[in-house]
Structure 1
Amino acid sequence: MNPQEIGYCDLSISKNFDLTQLQIIEKLGVNTVALNTYVEEVCEEPKKKKKKGAVREKQDYFPEPVPLPDDIKRNSKLNILQRVTIEISDASIALKINQSENIKKYDIIAVLPKTLQAFQYACGSMDVEIITFAPETRIPFKVSRKLYRQAAERGIFFELMYSAAIKDTTARKNIISTAHNYHAVGKSKNLILSSGAEQPAQVRGIHDVINLGFLLGVNSNEGIKLILNNPKQLINKAKGRRSGKLYMEVSAVSEVEDSLGVN
Protein backbone atom coordinates (compact mmCIF):
# COMPACT_ATOMS: atom_id res chain seq x y z
CA MET A 1 0.00 0.00 0.00
CA ASN A 2 1.38 3.40 -0.98
CA PRO A 3 1.11 6.23 1.59
CA GLN A 4 -1.11 8.28 -0.70
CA GLU A 5 -3.58 5.40 -0.83
CA ILE A 6 -4.12 5.26 2.93
CA GLY A 7 -6.43 8.29 3.01
CA TYR A 8 -9.04 8.65 5.75
CA CYS A 9 -8.94 5.82 8.26
CA ASP A 10 -11.11 3.93 10.67
CA LEU A 11 -8.66 1.62 12.41
CA SER A 12 -11.15 -0.22 14.61
CA ILE A 13 -13.98 -2.12 12.94
CA SER A 14 -15.09 -5.20 14.88
CA LYS A 15 -14.25 -8.54 13.30
CA ASN A 16 -17.97 -9.34 13.79
CA PHE A 17 -18.94 -6.56 11.37
CA ASP A 18 -20.89 -7.86 8.38
CA LEU A 19 -18.16 -7.74 5.73
CA THR A 20 -20.75 -7.57 2.94
CA GLN A 21 -21.63 -4.12 4.31
CA LEU A 22 -18.12 -2.69 4.06
CA GLN A 23 -19.15 -0.68 0.99
CA ILE A 24 -21.25 1.50 3.33
CA ILE A 25 -18.05 2.56 5.11
CA GLU A 26 -16.47 3.31 1.76
CA LYS A 27 -19.42 5.53 0.77
CA LEU A 28 -18.95 7.49 4.01
CA GLY A 29 -15.55 8.64 2.75
CA VAL A 30 -13.28 6.15 4.51
CA ASN A 31 -10.35 4.75 2.53
CA THR A 32 -8.68 2.40 5.03
CA VAL A 33 -10.17 0.19 7.73
CA ALA A 34 -8.70 -2.24 10.24
CA LEU A 35 -10.70 -5.31 11.24
CA ASN A 36 -10.20 -5.66 14.99
CA THR A 37 -9.85 -9.00 16.76
CA TYR A 38 -10.25 -8.45 20.50
CA VAL A 39 -8.38 -10.81 22.82
CA GLU A 40 -9.38 -10.89 26.46
CA GLU A 41 -6.61 -11.26 29.00
CA VAL A 42 -4.77 -14.51 28.53
CA CYS A 43 -5.00 -16.77 31.57
CA GLU A 44 -2.51 -19.51 32.23
CA GLU A 45 -4.04 -22.95 31.91
CA PRO A 46 -2.80 -25.69 34.25
CA LYS A 47 -0.14 -27.73 32.52
CA LYS A 48 -1.16 -31.30 31.84
CA LYS A 49 1.25 -34.01 32.80
CA LYS A 50 3.21 -35.01 29.73
CA LYS A 51 3.18 -38.68 28.88
CA LYS A 52 6.53 -40.29 28.34
CA GLY A 53 7.58 -40.00 24.70
CA ALA A 54 4.67 -37.69 23.82
CA VAL A 55 5.32 -34.41 22.03
CA ARG A 56 3.67 -31.45 23.70
CA GLU A 57 1.58 -29.45 21.28
CA LYS A 58 2.66 -25.83 21.02
CA GLN A 59 -0.23 -23.54 21.94
CA ASP A 60 -0.77 -20.15 20.33
CA TYR A 61 -2.60 -17.87 22.72
CA PHE A 62 -3.81 -15.58 19.93
CA PRO A 63 -6.31 -16.38 17.15
CA GLU A 64 -5.62 -15.89 13.48
CA PRO A 65 -7.01 -12.75 11.81
CA VAL A 66 -10.56 -12.92 10.48
CA PRO A 67 -10.46 -14.38 6.94
CA LEU A 68 -11.53 -12.12 4.09
CA PRO A 69 -13.83 -13.63 1.45
CA ASP A 70 -12.31 -13.68 -2.04
CA ASP A 71 -15.04 -11.45 -3.49
CA ILE A 72 -14.29 -8.80 -0.85
CA LYS A 73 -10.59 -8.93 -1.74
CA ARG A 74 -11.38 -8.55 -5.44
CA ASN A 75 -14.14 -5.96 -5.37
CA SER A 76 -13.63 -3.72 -2.35
CA LYS A 77 -11.84 -0.45 -2.95
CA LEU A 78 -11.04 -0.19 0.75
CA ASN A 79 -7.59 -0.90 2.10
CA ILE A 80 -8.41 -3.60 4.65
CA LEU A 81 -5.90 -4.17 7.44
CA GLN A 82 -5.92 -6.70 10.26
CA ARG A 83 -5.64 -5.51 13.87
CA VAL A 84 -5.46 -7.31 17.19
CA THR A 85 -6.28 -5.66 20.54
CA ILE A 86 -4.92 -7.45 23.61
CA GLU A 87 -5.96 -6.91 27.21
CA ILE A 88 -2.92 -6.76 29.51
CA SER A 89 -2.42 -6.54 33.28
CA ASP A 90 1.37 -6.93 33.52
CA ALA A 91 4.55 -7.64 31.58
CA SER A 92 3.99 -11.41 31.47
CA ILE A 93 2.14 -10.95 28.17
CA ALA A 94 5.46 -10.30 26.40
CA LEU A 95 6.49 -13.95 26.29
CA LYS A 96 3.15 -15.02 24.83
CA ILE A 97 3.38 -12.34 22.14
CA ASN A 98 6.97 -13.27 21.26
CA GLN A 99 6.09 -16.97 20.96
CA SER A 100 2.98 -16.41 18.84
CA GLU A 101 3.04 -17.08 15.11
CA ASN A 102 -0.48 -15.70 14.68
CA ILE A 103 0.53 -12.27 16.01
CA LYS A 104 2.84 -11.89 13.01
CA LYS A 105 -0.18 -12.11 10.70
CA TYR A 106 -1.68 -8.84 12.00
CA ASP A 107 -0.88 -5.45 10.49
CA ILE A 108 -1.54 -3.49 13.71
CA ILE A 109 -1.08 -4.44 17.37
CA ALA A 110 -3.03 -2.59 20.06
CA VAL A 111 -3.11 -3.12 23.82
CA LEU A 112 -5.72 -2.30 26.44
CA PRO A 113 -3.96 -1.88 29.82
CA LYS A 114 -6.09 -2.87 32.81
CA THR A 115 -3.64 -1.72 35.48
CA LEU A 116 -1.17 1.13 35.99
CA GLN A 117 1.66 -1.42 35.85
CA ALA A 118 0.47 -2.60 32.43
CA PHE A 119 0.10 0.99 31.21
CA GLN A 120 3.66 1.82 32.32
CA TYR A 121 4.95 -1.27 30.54
CA ALA A 122 3.03 -0.45 27.35
CA CYS A 123 4.27 3.15 27.28
CA GLY A 124 7.88 2.32 28.01
CA SER A 125 8.68 -1.09 26.55
CA MET A 126 6.10 -2.69 24.28
CA ASP A 127 6.53 -2.70 20.50
CA VAL A 128 2.93 -1.87 19.63
CA GLU A 129 1.10 0.82 17.66
CA ILE A 130 -1.93 1.67 19.80
CA ILE A 131 -2.88 2.06 23.45
CA THR A 132 -6.64 2.05 23.86
CA PHE A 133 -9.29 1.90 26.58
CA ALA A 134 -12.89 0.69 26.64
CA PRO A 135 -15.18 3.75 26.39
CA GLU A 136 -17.83 2.01 28.50
CA THR A 137 -15.73 2.58 31.63
CA ARG A 138 -13.41 5.27 32.94
CA ILE A 139 -9.66 4.70 32.81
CA PRO A 140 -8.94 3.00 36.17
CA PHE A 141 -5.75 4.98 36.85
CA LYS A 142 -4.19 8.36 36.21
CA VAL A 143 -2.56 8.98 32.83
CA SER A 144 0.48 11.08 33.68
CA ARG A 145 2.17 13.62 31.45
CA LYS A 146 5.46 11.68 31.71
CA LEU A 147 4.01 8.37 30.52
CA TYR A 148 1.98 9.98 27.73
CA ARG A 149 5.08 11.77 26.44
CA GLN A 150 7.15 8.59 26.70
CA ALA A 151 4.66 6.65 24.59
CA ALA A 152 4.33 9.44 22.01
CA GLU A 153 8.10 9.72 21.65
CA ARG A 154 8.23 5.98 20.94
CA GLY A 155 5.66 6.40 18.17
CA ILE A 156 2.74 4.84 20.03
CA PHE A 157 -0.73 6.31 19.43
CA PHE A 158 -3.63 6.73 21.84
CA GLU A 159 -7.09 5.86 20.58
CA LEU A 160 -10.58 7.21 21.19
CA MET A 161 -13.58 5.21 19.93
CA TYR A 162 -16.84 7.02 19.26
CA SER A 163 -19.45 4.35 18.42
CA ALA A 164 -20.22 3.56 22.06
CA ALA A 165 -20.85 7.27 22.65
CA ILE A 166 -23.61 7.23 20.02
CA LYS A 167 -25.74 4.75 21.95
CA ASP A 168 -24.77 5.31 25.60
CA THR A 169 -24.70 8.50 27.68
CA THR A 170 -22.15 7.16 30.16
CA ALA A 171 -19.79 6.14 27.37
CA ARG A 172 -20.20 9.59 25.82
CA LYS A 173 -19.15 11.24 29.08
CA ASN A 174 -16.21 8.87 29.41
CA ILE A 175 -14.86 9.46 25.92
CA ILE A 176 -15.14 13.25 26.33
CA SER A 177 -13.42 13.03 29.72
CA THR A 178 -10.62 10.84 28.31
CA ALA A 179 -10.16 13.16 25.33
CA HIS A 180 -9.84 16.23 27.53
CA ASN A 181 -7.42 14.34 29.77
CA TYR A 182 -5.25 13.51 26.76
CA HIS A 183 -5.32 17.16 25.76
CA ALA A 184 -4.32 18.25 29.27
CA VAL A 185 -1.38 15.83 29.65
CA GLY A 186 -0.23 15.51 26.04
CA LYS A 187 -1.89 18.25 23.97
CA SER A 188 -3.69 15.47 22.05
CA LYS A 189 -0.42 14.43 20.40
CA ASN A 190 -0.41 11.00 18.72
CA LEU A 191 -4.16 10.65 19.01
CA ILE A 192 -6.42 8.75 16.61
CA LEU A 193 -10.21 8.53 16.43
CA SER A 194 -11.85 5.24 15.43
CA SER A 195 -15.42 4.01 15.44
CA GLY A 196 -15.08 0.63 17.15
CA ALA A 197 -18.22 -0.21 15.18
CA GLU A 198 -19.87 -3.61 15.19
CA GLN A 199 -22.53 -2.65 12.63
CA PRO A 200 -22.93 -0.05 9.84
CA ALA A 201 -25.30 2.17 11.87
CA GLN A 202 -22.45 2.92 14.29
CA VAL A 203 -20.17 4.43 11.64
CA ARG A 204 -20.28 8.14 10.77
CA GLY A 205 -19.13 10.05 7.71
CA ILE A 206 -15.77 11.78 7.59
CA HIS A 207 -17.14 15.30 8.13
CA ASP A 208 -19.26 14.16 11.07
CA VAL A 209 -16.23 12.55 12.68
CA ILE A 210 -14.18 15.71 12.18
CA ASN A 211 -16.98 17.77 13.77
CA LEU A 212 -17.02 15.31 16.65
CA GLY A 213 -13.53 16.58 17.39
CA PHE A 214 -15.03 19.80 18.76
CA LEU A 215 -16.65 17.81 21.57
CA LEU A 216 -13.31 16.19 22.23
CA GLY A 217 -11.47 19.49 22.57
CA VAL A 218 -9.80 19.72 19.15
CA ASN A 219 -10.40 22.14 16.29
CA SER A 220 -11.21 21.10 12.71
CA ASN A 221 -7.54 20.98 11.59
CA GLU A 222 -6.62 18.79 14.55
CA GLY A 223 -9.74 16.72 13.91
CA ILE A 224 -8.49 15.87 10.43
CA LYS A 225 -5.21 14.67 11.93
CA LEU A 226 -7.10 12.17 14.09
CA ILE A 227 -8.42 10.28 11.05
CA LEU A 228 -5.89 11.16 8.34
CA ASN A 229 -2.34 12.21 9.27
CA ASN A 230 -1.94 10.33 12.54
CA PRO A 231 -3.35 7.01 11.29
CA LYS A 232 -1.04 7.25 8.26
CA GLN A 233 1.96 7.64 10.58
CA LEU A 234 0.69 4.74 12.67
CA ILE A 235 0.37 2.44 9.65
CA ASN A 236 3.87 3.32 8.48
CA LYS A 237 5.22 2.61 11.97
CA ALA A 238 3.47 -0.77 11.91
CA LYS A 239 5.13 -1.57 8.57
CA GLY A 240 8.50 -0.78 10.14
CA ARG A 241 7.83 -3.11 13.07
CA ARG A 242 6.97 -5.98 10.76
CA SER A 243 9.84 -5.49 8.32
CA GLY A 244 12.54 -4.48 10.80
CA LYS A 245 14.91 -1.56 10.63
CA LEU A 246 16.00 -0.35 7.22
CA TYR A 247 19.51 1.01 6.76
CA MET A 248 20.44 3.19 3.80
CA GLU A 249 23.90 4.04 2.55
CA VAL A 250 24.22 7.52 1.09
CA SER A 251 27.05 8.24 -1.35
CA ALA A 252 28.04 11.35 -3.27
CA VAL A 253 27.10 11.39 -6.96
CA SER A 254 30.79 11.50 -7.94
CA GLU A 255 31.48 8.30 -5.98
CA VAL A 256 28.63 6.51 -7.73
CA GLU A 257 29.87 7.66 -11.15
CA ASP A 258 33.42 6.46 -10.35
CA SER A 259 32.13 3.02 -9.33
CA LEU A 260 30.22 2.80 -12.63
CA GLY A 261 33.20 4.00 -14.70
CA VAL A 262 31.39 7.17 -15.79
CA ASN A 263 33.71 10.04 -16.83
Structure 2
Amino acid sequence: MIPPKGYCDLRVEKINKDIINAYVALGYNMIAVNTTLDSFSLDSGVSNRKKRKKLENTDNDSTQQDCIPPIKPIENDSNLVILNRLTIKLANPGQFQKLSSSKNFKSYDIMAVEPLNEQVCQEIITSQLVDIIVCNVKNGVISAKGYKVAVDKNIHFELCYGPMVNGYFMRQDTITLAHMLHMKGKSKNIIVSSGANVKTDIRNPHDIINLGLLLGLSNKQSKDSVTENCHLVILKSYGRKLGKSAINVIPINDREQKTVQASKVKL
Protein backbone atom coordinates (compact mmCIF):
# COMPACT_ATOMS: atom_id res chain seq x y z
CA MET A 1 0.00 0.00 0.00
CA ILE A 2 1.61 3.21 -1.21
CA PRO A 3 0.90 6.36 0.87
CA PRO A 4 -1.14 8.84 -1.20
CA LYS A 5 0.51 12.09 -2.23
CA GLY A 6 0.36 14.79 -4.90
CA TYR A 7 -2.38 15.28 -7.49
CA CYS A 8 -4.92 12.50 -8.01
CA ASP A 9 -7.63 11.56 -10.50
CA LEU A 10 -9.85 8.89 -9.01
CA ARG A 11 -11.96 8.14 -12.08
CA VAL A 12 -10.34 7.07 -15.34
CA GLU A 13 -12.64 5.06 -17.60
CA LYS A 14 -9.99 3.67 -19.95
CA ILE A 15 -6.28 3.12 -19.55
CA ASN A 16 -3.48 2.72 -22.05
CA LYS A 17 0.12 3.83 -22.49
CA ASP A 18 -0.83 7.22 -24.02
CA ILE A 19 -3.14 8.03 -21.10
CA ILE A 20 -0.51 6.99 -18.55
CA ASN A 21 2.09 9.19 -20.26
CA ALA A 22 -0.36 12.10 -20.31
CA TYR A 23 -0.93 11.86 -16.54
CA VAL A 24 2.81 11.67 -15.90
CA ALA A 25 3.46 14.71 -18.11
CA LEU A 26 0.80 16.74 -16.29
CA GLY A 27 2.27 15.96 -12.87
CA TYR A 28 -0.24 13.47 -11.45
CA ASN A 29 0.92 11.00 -8.80
CA MET A 30 -2.05 8.65 -8.47
CA ILE A 31 -5.04 7.65 -10.60
CA ALA A 32 -7.84 5.09 -10.27
CA VAL A 33 -9.11 3.04 -13.21
CA ASN A 34 -12.88 2.70 -12.97
CA THR A 35 -15.14 -0.29 -13.60
CA THR A 36 -18.87 0.49 -13.68
CA LEU A 37 -21.49 -2.09 -12.75
CA ASP A 38 -25.21 -1.47 -13.21
CA SER A 39 -27.97 -2.72 -10.91
CA PHE A 40 -29.05 -5.46 -13.34
CA SER A 41 -25.67 -7.17 -13.07
CA LEU A 42 -26.16 -7.64 -9.33
CA ASP A 43 -29.38 -9.56 -10.02
CA SER A 44 -27.66 -11.96 -12.40
CA GLY A 45 -26.97 -14.49 -9.65
CA VAL A 46 -29.20 -17.31 -8.47
CA SER A 47 -32.52 -15.75 -7.56
CA ASN A 48 -35.15 -18.52 -7.56
CA ARG A 49 -35.64 -22.14 -6.55
CA LYS A 50 -35.31 -23.59 -10.03
CA LYS A 51 -31.90 -22.02 -10.51
CA ARG A 52 -30.82 -23.24 -7.09
CA LYS A 53 -31.82 -26.81 -7.90
CA LYS A 54 -29.86 -26.67 -11.14
CA LEU A 55 -26.88 -25.38 -9.22
CA GLU A 56 -27.11 -28.24 -6.73
CA ASN A 57 -27.23 -30.79 -9.54
CA THR A 58 -24.04 -29.53 -11.15
CA ASP A 59 -20.57 -30.85 -10.28
CA ASN A 60 -19.14 -29.87 -6.93
CA ASP A 61 -16.23 -28.15 -8.67
CA SER A 62 -18.45 -25.62 -10.39
CA THR A 63 -19.05 -22.37 -8.54
CA GLN A 64 -21.61 -19.63 -8.85
CA GLN A 65 -20.53 -16.80 -11.10
CA ASP A 66 -19.39 -13.73 -9.20
CA CYS A 67 -21.61 -10.71 -9.81
CA ILE A 68 -18.57 -8.39 -9.73
CA PRO A 69 -15.99 -8.69 -12.54
CA PRO A 70 -12.34 -9.29 -11.64
CA ILE A 71 -9.81 -6.49 -12.05
CA LYS A 72 -7.77 -6.41 -15.23
CA PRO A 73 -3.96 -6.35 -15.11
CA ILE A 74 -2.43 -3.01 -16.14
CA GLU A 75 1.00 -2.59 -17.68
CA ASN A 76 2.72 0.36 -16.06
CA ASP A 77 6.45 1.07 -16.14
CA SER A 78 6.16 4.67 -14.87
CA ASN A 79 6.14 6.19 -11.37
CA LEU A 80 2.39 6.79 -11.65
CA VAL A 81 0.45 4.81 -9.03
CA ILE A 82 -2.61 3.13 -10.57
CA LEU A 83 -5.45 1.93 -8.32
CA ASN A 84 -8.61 0.02 -9.18
CA ARG A 85 -12.03 1.50 -8.53
CA LEU A 86 -15.49 -0.06 -8.66
CA THR A 87 -18.58 2.10 -9.27
CA ILE A 88 -21.96 0.43 -8.75
CA LYS A 89 -25.35 1.85 -9.68
CA LEU A 90 -27.82 0.66 -7.05
CA ALA A 91 -31.59 0.63 -7.37
CA ASN A 92 -32.36 -1.69 -4.45
CA PRO A 93 -30.84 -1.64 -0.93
CA GLY A 94 -30.85 -5.46 -0.95
CA GLN A 95 -28.32 -5.47 -3.78
CA PHE A 96 -25.83 -3.77 -1.51
CA GLN A 97 -25.65 -6.85 0.72
CA LYS A 98 -24.26 -8.95 -2.14
CA LEU A 99 -21.05 -6.95 -2.21
CA SER A 100 -19.61 -8.33 1.01
CA SER A 101 -20.01 -11.92 -0.23
CA SER A 102 -18.16 -11.26 -3.49
CA LYS A 103 -14.56 -12.44 -3.73
CA ASN A 104 -13.75 -9.97 -6.51
CA PHE A 105 -15.02 -7.03 -4.45
CA LYS A 106 -12.07 -7.25 -2.07
CA SER A 107 -9.58 -6.88 -4.93
CA TYR A 108 -10.75 -3.33 -5.72
CA ASP A 109 -9.09 -0.40 -3.96
CA ILE A 110 -11.87 2.21 -4.08
CA MET A 111 -15.62 1.66 -3.80
CA ALA A 112 -18.10 4.20 -5.28
CA VAL A 113 -21.88 3.98 -5.36
CA GLU A 114 -24.37 5.87 -7.51
CA PRO A 115 -27.75 5.67 -5.72
CA LEU A 116 -30.72 5.59 -8.09
CA ASN A 117 -33.31 6.50 -5.45
CA GLU A 118 -33.59 8.02 -1.98
CA GLN A 119 -34.00 4.66 -0.25
CA VAL A 120 -30.61 3.47 -1.48
CA CYS A 121 -29.06 6.80 -0.56
CA GLN A 122 -30.16 6.43 3.06
CA GLU A 123 -28.66 2.94 3.14
CA ILE A 124 -25.18 3.79 1.86
CA ILE A 125 -24.46 6.96 3.86
CA THR A 126 -23.79 4.91 6.99
CA SER A 127 -21.89 2.06 5.32
CA GLN A 128 -18.19 1.47 5.93
CA LEU A 129 -17.88 -0.09 2.46
CA VAL A 130 -18.53 3.15 0.57
CA ASP A 131 -15.75 5.61 -0.18
CA ILE A 132 -17.43 7.84 -2.80
CA ILE A 133 -21.05 8.76 -3.56
CA VAL A 134 -21.76 9.66 -7.19
CA CYS A 135 -24.79 11.98 -7.37
CA ASN A 136 -26.91 12.59 -10.43
CA VAL A 137 -29.19 15.53 -11.14
CA LYS A 138 -31.80 13.30 -12.81
CA ASN A 139 -31.99 10.86 -9.90
CA GLY A 140 -32.08 13.54 -7.25
CA VAL A 141 -29.48 14.66 -4.74
CA ILE A 142 -28.85 13.59 -1.18
CA SER A 143 -30.65 15.52 1.55
CA ALA A 144 -28.86 18.03 3.76
CA LYS A 145 -29.16 15.69 6.76
CA GLY A 146 -27.85 12.75 4.75
CA TYR A 147 -24.97 14.87 3.48
CA LYS A 148 -23.89 15.65 7.03
CA VAL A 149 -24.06 11.97 8.02
CA ALA A 150 -21.92 11.01 5.00
CA VAL A 151 -19.31 13.66 5.86
CA ASP A 152 -19.13 12.36 9.43
CA LYS A 153 -18.50 8.86 8.02
CA ASN A 154 -15.65 10.24 5.86
CA ILE A 155 -17.56 9.57 2.62
CA HIS A 156 -16.80 11.89 -0.30
CA PHE A 157 -18.90 13.20 -3.20
CA GLU A 158 -17.69 13.26 -6.77
CA LEU A 159 -17.94 15.79 -9.58
CA CYS A 160 -16.71 14.79 -13.06
CA TYR A 161 -15.44 17.50 -15.38
CA GLY A 162 -15.10 15.15 -18.37
CA PRO A 163 -18.79 15.35 -19.39
CA MET A 164 -18.57 19.15 -19.30
CA VAL A 165 -16.23 19.07 -22.28
CA ASN A 166 -18.54 16.91 -24.41
CA GLY A 167 -21.64 19.06 -24.63
CA TYR A 168 -23.71 21.97 -23.39
CA PHE A 169 -26.39 19.94 -21.59
CA MET A 170 -23.86 17.77 -19.72
CA ARG A 171 -21.97 20.91 -18.74
CA GLN A 172 -25.17 22.50 -17.46
CA ASP A 173 -26.06 19.36 -15.45
CA THR A 174 -22.62 19.24 -13.83
CA ILE A 175 -22.74 22.90 -12.80
CA THR A 176 -26.28 22.44 -11.46
CA LEU A 177 -25.21 19.38 -9.47
CA ALA A 178 -22.20 21.23 -8.05
CA HIS A 179 -24.31 24.13 -6.84
CA MET A 180 -26.93 21.77 -5.36
CA LEU A 181 -24.18 20.02 -3.38
CA HIS A 182 -23.06 23.44 -2.19
CA MET A 183 -26.59 24.19 -0.99
CA LYS A 184 -26.94 20.81 0.75
CA GLY A 185 -23.54 20.56 2.40
CA LYS A 186 -21.47 23.65 1.53
CA SER A 187 -19.33 21.58 -0.88
CA LYS A 188 -17.69 19.59 1.89
CA ASN A 189 -15.79 16.39 0.99
CA ILE A 190 -15.84 17.04 -2.76
CA ILE A 191 -13.45 15.37 -5.17
CA VAL A 192 -13.17 16.34 -8.84
CA SER A 193 -12.39 13.58 -11.34
CA SER A 194 -12.04 13.43 -15.11
CA GLY A 195 -13.90 10.29 -16.18
CA ALA A 196 -11.36 10.25 -19.01
CA ASN A 197 -11.76 7.87 -21.96
CA VAL A 198 -8.95 9.39 -24.05
CA LYS A 199 -5.91 11.48 -23.20
CA THR A 200 -7.54 14.65 -24.58
CA ASP A 201 -10.10 14.43 -21.74
CA ILE A 202 -7.36 14.95 -19.14
CA ARG A 203 -6.71 18.45 -17.81
CA ASN A 204 -3.88 20.05 -15.88
CA PRO A 205 -4.48 19.95 -12.09
CA HIS A 206 -4.17 23.74 -11.91
CA ASP A 207 -6.93 24.09 -14.52
CA ILE A 208 -9.15 21.83 -12.41
CA ILE A 209 -8.49 23.97 -9.35
CA ASN A 210 -9.63 27.04 -11.31
CA LEU A 211 -12.67 25.09 -12.54
CA GLY A 212 -13.60 24.36 -8.93
CA LEU A 213 -14.34 28.06 -8.41
CA LEU A 214 -16.94 27.85 -11.18
CA LEU A 215 -18.44 24.81 -9.44
CA GLY A 216 -18.99 26.74 -6.21
CA LEU A 217 -15.89 25.58 -4.33
CA SER A 218 -13.61 27.88 -2.35
CA ASN A 219 -9.90 28.17 -3.16
CA LYS A 220 -9.00 25.61 -0.50
CA GLN A 221 -11.83 23.26 -1.45
CA SER A 222 -10.75 23.42 -5.10
CA LYS A 223 -7.20 22.42 -4.25
CA ASP A 224 -8.34 19.74 -1.82
CA SER A 225 -10.64 18.24 -4.48
CA VAL A 226 -7.60 16.91 -6.38
CA THR A 227 -5.22 16.45 -3.44
CA GLU A 228 -6.18 16.15 0.23
CA ASN A 229 -9.73 14.81 -0.24
CA CYS A 230 -8.48 12.19 -2.71
CA HIS A 231 -5.80 11.18 -0.20
CA LEU A 232 -8.49 10.68 2.45
CA VAL A 233 -10.51 8.48 0.08
CA ILE A 234 -7.46 6.31 -0.60
CA LEU A 235 -6.52 6.07 3.08
CA LYS A 236 -10.07 5.04 3.96
CA SER A 237 -9.96 2.30 1.34
CA TYR A 238 -6.63 1.10 2.78
CA GLY A 239 -8.23 0.98 6.22
CA ARG A 240 -11.11 -1.13 4.94
CA LYS A 241 -8.66 -3.67 3.51
CA LEU A 242 -6.58 -3.79 6.69
CA GLY A 243 -9.61 -4.25 8.92
CA LYS A 244 -9.61 -3.23 12.57
CA SER A 245 -6.10 -2.31 13.65
CA ALA A 246 -4.40 0.06 16.06
CA ILE A 247 -1.41 0.94 13.88
CA ASN A 248 -0.15 0.30 10.35
CA VAL A 249 3.62 0.36 9.68
CA ILE A 250 4.68 1.42 6.17
CA PRO A 251 8.37 1.16 5.18
CA ILE A 252 9.98 4.23 3.62
CA ASN A 253 12.72 4.32 1.01
CA ASP A 254 16.29 5.43 1.67
CA ARG A 255 15.75 8.92 0.30
CA GLU A 256 12.78 9.60 2.58
CA GLN A 257 14.68 8.16 5.53
CA LYS A 258 17.62 10.51 4.94
CA THR A 259 15.19 13.45 4.76
CA VAL A 260 13.65 12.47 8.10
CA GLN A 261 17.09 12.10 9.72
CA ALA A 262 18.21 15.47 8.33
CA SER A 263 15.12 17.17 9.76
CA LYS A 264 15.83 15.64 13.17
CA VAL A 265 19.40 16.98 13.09
CA LYS A 266 18.10 20.49 12.36
CA LEU A 267 15.71 20.25 15.28
TM bracket (short chain): 0.7 to 0.9
- Equivalent residue for 2:211? 212
Q: What does residue range 105-116 of structure 1 map to in structure 2 within 5 Å?
A: 105-116=107-118
- Equivalent residue for 1:258? none
Q: Does the aligned pair in 1 maintain the 2:175–2:215 contact within 8 Å?
A: yes
- Equivalent residue for 1:150? 149
Q: What does residue range 30-109 of structure 1 map to in structure 2 within 5 Å?
A: 30-41=28-39, 42-45=42-45, 47=51, 49-50=53-54, 52=57, 54-55=59-60, 57-69=63-75, 72=76, 75-109=77-111
Amino acid at match of 1:43: D
Q: Does the aligned pair in 2 maintain the 1:9–1:227 contact within 8 Å?
A: yes
Q: Deviations over 1:156-196 (max 9, x none)?
A: 10000010111111111111111111111111111100001
Q: Does the aligned pair in 1 maintain the 2:135–2:142 contact within 8 Å?
A: no
Distance 1:110 1:52 in 2: 36
Aligned residues: 239
Q: Does the aligned pair in 2 maintain the 1:6–1:79 contact within 8 Å?
A: no
Distance 2:67 2:119 in 1: 21
- Equivalent residue for 1:256? none
Deviation, structure 1 residue 119? 1.0
Deviation, structure 1 residue 144? 1.0
Distance 1:53 1:142 in 2: 45
Deviation, structure 1 residue 68? 1.1
- Equivalent residue for 2:172? 173
Q: Deviations over 1:224-248 (max 9, x none)?
A: 0100010011111111011012126
Q: What does residue range 177-216 of structure 1 map to in structure 2 within 5 Å?
A: 177-216=176-215
Structure 1 alignment gaps of length 5 or more = 249-263
Distance 1:52 1:164 in 2: 48
Deviation, structure 1 residue 214? 1.4
TM-score (norm 1): 0.85
Q: Does the aligned pair in 2 maintain the 1:6–1:31 contact within 8 Å?
A: yes
- Equivalent residue for 2:263? none
Q: Alpha carbons of 1:19 and 1:88: their partners in 2 closer, same or farther (altered >3 Å)? A: farther
Distance 1:141 1:176 in 2: 14
Distance 1:68 1:115 in 2: 34
Q: Deviations over 1:75-106 (max 9, x none)?
A: 21111111010111122123321111111111
TM-score (norm 2): 0.84
**3-state secondary structure, aligned to 1:92:** helix
Deviation, structure 1 residue 48? 5.8
- Equivalent residue for 1:251? none
Q: Tell me the C-alpha RMSD between the 2 structures.
A: 1.8
Identity %: 35
- Equivalent residue for 1:28? 26
Q: Does the aligned pair in 2 maintain the 1:90–1:121 contact within 8 Å?
A: no
**3-state secondary structure, aligned to 2:33:** strand
Q: Does the aligned pair in 2 maintain the 1:110–1:129 contact within 8 Å?
A: yes
Amino acid at match of 2:143: S
Distance 1:53 1:203 in 2: 48
Q: Does the aligned pair in 1 maintain the 2:24–2:80 contact within 8 Å?
A: yes
- Equivalent residue for 1:130? 132
Deviation, structure 1 residue 117? 0.8
**3-state secondary structure, aligned to 2:19:** helix
Distance 1:143 1:52 in 2: 45
